């Protein structure tokens, strides 16, 4: 909280040298890539879809799935591992209001049916503040649903079992959108802290 404004920052860490460290590194890179897409005129939902594309790439690279990233997306497998929206408005409230409207008059613009957890469907404007928070999770109930689905045959369950004890990853940054660039307040604070 700063002058009445909220922040929402998440970091996942691991101790020692283990395979989970590589997944954290990939999610960190994805967070930075997605944050760089925040520009005036961009549809925030497009950033969410790009997050799913990035998660699909990570699933393929980590050997969690035995299929292409495109097929992983088409079958909705990324939603098992990334079951939330890419972020939200940040302001006086941690999950600030106005994310699901298309204009200042409050005309509703709901989340798409296939991504119901998306908290923002607006077109990005300068002077707005967002979180960017991709995640990769190993949630027992969602994995059980996937295991009982037709897509189960494309999952490398031995690799899933390797990562299952870690629970998941979220890397969350707070971004101010300016006219010509954006400002990652989280990374700036990390640099200042040394």
| Segment-wise mean pLDDT, segments of 10 residues, the chain, 194 residues | 71 88 96 97 95 99 98 97 90 66 84 83 92 96 98 98 96 95 88 80
Q: Provide the pLDDT for residue 91.
A: 66
- Residue-range domain boundaries for the chain: 19-193
Relative to beta strand 173-177, strand 168-170 is unpaired
Q: Provide the pLDDT for residue 11.
A: 86
- Give the list of residues 6+ apart from residue 125 with CB closer than 8 angstroms, or none: 40, 177
State how far the Cα of 54 lies from the Cα of 86, in Å rounded to an integer. Answer: 11
Q: Provide the pLDDT for residue 100.
A: 74
User: Residue 155 has what DSSP assignment?
Assistant: B
- Give the list of residues 6+ apart from residue 131 with CB closer than 8 angstroms, or none: 8, 87, 88, 90, 172, 173, 174, 175
Total-model pTM: 0.91
Q: Provide the pLDDT for residue 137.
A: 98
CATH of 19-193, one of 3.90.230.10, 2.160.10.10, 3.30.428.10, 3.50.50.60: 3.90.230.10
Q: Which helix (H) or strand (E) holds 183?
A: strand 182-184
Q: Provide the pLDDT for residue 65.
A: 99
- Using alpha carbons, select from 135, 89, 85 the residue that is nearest to residue 114: 85
């Amino acid at each position: 909280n700063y002058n009445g404004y909220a922040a929402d920052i998440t970091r996942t860490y691991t101790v020692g040298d283990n395979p989970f460290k590589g997944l954290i590194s990939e999610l960190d890179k994805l967070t930075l890539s997605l944050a760089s897409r925040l520009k005036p005129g961009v549809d925030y939902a497009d950033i969410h879809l790009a997050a799913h594309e990035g998660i699909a790439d990570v699933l393929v690279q980590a050997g969690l799935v035995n299929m292409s990233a495109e097929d992983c997306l088409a079958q909705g497998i990324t939603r098992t591992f990334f079951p939330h929206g890419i972020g939200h408005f940040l302001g006086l409230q941690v999950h600030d209001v106005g994310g699901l409207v298309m204009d200042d008059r409050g005309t509703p613009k709901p989340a798409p049916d296939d991504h119901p957890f998306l908290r923002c469907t607006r077109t990005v404007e300068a002077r707005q503040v967002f979180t960017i928070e991709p995640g990769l999770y190993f949630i027992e109930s969602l994995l059980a649903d996937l295991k009982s689905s037709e897509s189960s045959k494309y999952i490398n369950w031995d690799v899933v079992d390797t990562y299952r004890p870690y629970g998941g990853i979220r890397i969350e940054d707070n971004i101010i959108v300016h006219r010509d660039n954006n400002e990652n307040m989280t990374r700036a604070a990390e640099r200042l802290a040394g």
